[in-house]
Amino acid sequence: KLKSKNWSKNEIIQVFKYFEFIYRVIKRYKTSDILHCNDLNTLPIGVIIKKFFNKNVRIVYDAHEYEINDIPYENKYKIKMKYFIEKYLIKHADTVICVSDKIADEYVRLYKIEKPDLVLNTPHYINLDKKNIFRETFGIDENKTIFLYQGALTLGRGIEVLLQTFKEINNDKYIIVFMGYGILEESIMRSSKKYKNIYFHKAVPSDILLNYTSSADFGISTIEDSCLSYRYCLPNKMFEYIMADVPVIVSNLIEMKKIVNYYNVGIVVKNNTLDGVIDAVQNAQKLNKEEIQKNIQIVKEIYNWEEQEKVLLKLYERLY
């Protein structure tokens, strides 16, 4: 635990916190055989250890997102600065991991490296009996269709358009439940008090999350094309919906669209607008549920952590 953890969030203080973090990591892990550096902010620590403390250590750079542009509407100068930092540091990595094929291609283009391995952010494989938690909690009838958004209630996730959509629909045939926490929580709670088809549920622990997820009829992931990380993303929430046997409604983004269309496990929104999302919600009712469920079982067998773990372990073995 950092001694400075509870200090001010002032930017200068944050720098001091980062230096304390660097010191503690170096002290504890400098004799390791492999350093798994998750995200760009930890890669400098791995490089420092390799250059000054342990020249035999192997560095795995886990570029968990499109690291140089992972914030919506990010300042171009900040993007450029992160690009130069990553360009210098990545050459010290023994191998690189990405979370989508398109991000891997971009790293090859940007840094002229071998194509990174793909280790996707997927849940553990599980077969669940469908639960009815939302209907029981909120008194929702069986003949209503429940759409679920779970995850961070923040900007760039299409939440504002989802709220607008269900306000426009404004009937209790189509229900949306927002489950999570974040800066848009208050806005969602206010809307839930005014509209009978909008509900808010607080975030739940990860070990019981999929029980709640399975209580929905459709899972929504309408991430906005507001930065390159989002444009090329394969969000874990999409895989959580599928693991809970829930068909998905996703943004018209490269990687998400590719999986949903190829395996036919849901609907791709034409565009993240009011009309686009309303159209997707209505078209979701027309899906062949039996066919979709068969396809979901195929996807679950492929995109689960047990399969991704094999890739990671082979990668570690390759280093020694």
Phi-psi region of 211 (alpha: psi -120 to 50; beta: other; left: phi over 0): alpha
Across the chain, mean pLDDT equals 95
- The full set of domain ranges for the chain reads 31-121+308-319, 133-303
Q: Which residues contact 134 (CB under 8 A, 6 or more apart)?
A: 140, 146, 148, 177, 199, 201, 212, 215, 216
Give long-range contacts, CB 8 A cutoff, 24+ apart: 99-105.
Answer: 99/63, 99/64, 99/65, 99/233, 99/234, 100/232, 100/233, 100/234, 100/255, 101/255, 102/231, 102/232, 102/254, 102/255, 103/63, 103/65, 103/66, 103/229, 103/232
Residues 232, 102 contacting (CB under 8 angstroms) = yes
pLDDT in tens, 60-91: 999 988 999 999 889 999 999 999 999 999 99
Q: What sign does the CA torsion over 312, 317, 318, 320 have?
A: positive
pLDDT in tens, 251-271: 999 999 999 999 999 999 999
Query: The domain 31-121+308-319 belongs to what CATH superfamily?
Result: Glycogen Phosphorylase B; (3.40.50.2000)
CA dihedral angle for residue 239, residue 249, residue 229, residue 299, rounded to 10 degrees: 30
pTM (2 decimals)? 0.93
Q: Quick one: which of 235, 248, 244 has its CA closest to 215? A: 244
Structure-token match 């996703």, residue found? 250
Specify the CATH number of the domain 133-303: 3.40.50.2000
Decide if 31-121+308-319 and 133-303 have a common fold: yes
pLDDT at 136: 96
Q: Quick one: which of 96, 95, 21, 92 has its CA closest to 55? A: 92
Cα 62 to Cα 315: distance, rounded to the nearest angstrom: 12
pLDDT at 171: 83
Give the CA diameter of the chain: 65
pLDDT in tens, 161-208: 999 999 999 888 999 999 999 999 999 999 999 999 999 999 999 999
Given a cut of 90, whether residue 5 has pLDDT beyond it is: no
pLDDT in tens, 34-63: 999 999 999 999 999 999 999 999 999 999
Percent above pLDDT 90 for the chain:
91
- What are the angstrom distances between the C-alpha of 45 and each of 20, 25, 84, 224, 239? 11, 8, 16, 32, 31
